[in-house]
Chain A
């Protein structure tokens, strides 16, 4: 019987593992490793957000990075470049120009804006079925990019926005990643989560149980957009600069790779996948910079990162389509 597990397991276990990794990297003192882990934790916020929708609905979303972009810019509108905000983004309404929002509140409000956009577009998109939803969500990513790239007066268009407060370090990233995991866990365990997984498995049978499929999809979509929006906001404050092109196909591909590699339907999978892909990328990145083998200097060709990652993903899809951990969760015996 795994029904009587502590309410927040595996979330607490996963957070404990991440905390140990964070403390370990700090004690080790290797800034490269600490940086990589910080980035992994930020990606984890995005991936966990994505998994709230994808994992429970079974619908792959190519659009969530659009919500990350919305969140990132929304946070910039509230916190960026005090004093110069009107210079970079003259189109902002007056109340935003003068605003000096605490960064945490800004991140939450950024998530709310992403959630609001998700609620509005979701009312239409969530009624679609099958592959049509995924294509509509991809279109959403394109729309967000086009709008933000051309909305010069509030996004600085195709040039970069600089001067975001750099407050995201290892511990901030860890705290938000933990928060995202807890939110995902609570949703997964809720009646809403169960209903959506039922819709995922059999839509007609779910309807016969009184469930309206698109409404359940919409609830998860809005919640996951919120988390992805917060993730985007944090990423902006980690980089310190924003460009719309950051939130594009690369990031979409990497986050989906993380989720699929680990196991789409499990929170543990999201964590394992994110860590595994980040580690792989870091190793390849350093190979691209070049390594010294005795007298020999060898450098992996530029772009190996993407190619090797794609090959790994392909391998997983062929040989282990359920991902590294499948449906399993940390500490929970697999129901047969």
Chain B
């Protein structure tokens, strides 16, 4: 069994409403998987399940072959699952370096060591010029980059990116695509990418997982999924 973060028949219900229903998703280490679906399809709920913020009502989350029965976000972070947030959620009153340092501190150790790791993540994401600024003072596109730097400083085995391109214009999207594509090799990690921007998805992902109303609509290699009639009908065709 290759290293992977996966869900098996995961279900989440909010007040009787099924947000996720029997979802099987596999994120192999070293690959980029795109998670697609219309608004309300359950994408963020799935990321919350995978990162320990949401406990599933049914099914299992597996890290490699170990079931993560009662693991909260803290414990998952320590085991190598990092995430970004749709609403970014930076530590606004800390500097960019300190934000990344917080990621590096997930594995313990001194601040000196954490700062060195943070600097690498900052260099990787191209944030050197704003490293000493307060995170709360940055423009939107840079904020999202800091969120990625913070997650990468955790040296995760699996990275969950929740709409990293939201609110970015085309040039910024191209930069972001280039950045995301470098992640699996540089950090030896699997990337789950939630994204509405199809050009970003197509330029980065090898395989896709499409959700609709909490259920898996299609999953597999990009070419396979994008020609799936159900997908065209429910999601891509809507455009």
| A205, B91: Cβ atoms closer than 8 Å | yes
B110 at the interface (CB under 8 A from A): yes
Q: Report B-chain residues with C-beta under 8 Å of the C-beta of A311.
A: none
Judged by a CB distance under 8 angstroms, whether A123 is at the interface is no
Q: How far is the CB of B114 from chain A (nearest CB, A)?
A: 7
Q: How far does the alpha carbon of A202 sit from the alpha carbon of B91 in the complex, in Å? A: 6
Contact with B105, one of A1, A2, A191, A265 (Cβ below 8 angstroms): A191
A197 to B77, CA, bound (A): 18
B132 touches A2 (CB 8 A): yes
Contact-residue bracket for chain B: 35 or more
Tell which of A198, A265, A327 touches B102, judged by Cβ atoms closer than 8 Å: A198
Stretch of B93-101, B173-181, B192-200 lying at the A interface: B93-101
Cα A208 to Cα B154 in complex, Å, equals 10
Tally A residues with Cβ within 8 Å of B.
26
A189–B106 alpha-carbon span in the complex (Å): 17
Chain B nearest CB from A252 CB (Å) reads 26
A:203-241 near B, CB below 8 Å: 204-212
Residues of B within 8 A of A207 (CB): 53, 72-74, 77
| A194/B98 in contact, CB under 8 A | yes
Q: Is A190 an interface residue (CB 8 A)?
A: yes
**A208 engages B82 (CB within 8 Å):** yes
B92 touches A201 (CB 8 A): yes
Chain A hits for B115, CB < 8 A: 3
Check B90–A191 contact: CB distance below 8 A.
no
Interface membership of B124, Cβ < 8 A = no
In the complex, the answer to whether B114 meets A336 with C-beta atoms within 8 Å is no
Question: Can you name the residue of chain B whose Cβ is closest to the Cβ of A2?
Answer: B132
Report how far A209 CA is from B89 CA in the complex, Å: 12
Query: What B residues does A2 contact at CB under 8 A?
Result: 132
Closest residue on chain A to residue B160 by CB atoms: A208
Asked if A32 CB lies within 8 Å of chain B CBs, one says no
Other-chain contact of B74, A190, A198, A211 (Cβ < 8 Å) = A211
- From A208, A212, A327, give the contact of B93 (CB < 8 A): A327
Segment 77-93 of B: residues with Cβ below 8 Å from A: 77-78, 82-83, 85, 89-93
A145 contacts partner chain B, Cβ-Cβ < 8 Å: no
Q: How far is the CA of A200 from the CA of B105 in the complex (A)?
A: 16
CA distance A202 to B146 in the complex (A): 14
| A interface, CB within 8 angstroms of B | 1-3, 189-191, 194-195, 197-198, 200-202, 204-212, 265, 327, 335-336
Q: Which 9 A-B residue pairings sit nearest by Cβ, starting from the closest?
A: A210-B106, A210-B77, A201-B91, A205-B89, A207-B73, A198-B91, A209-B102, A210-B78, A202-B89
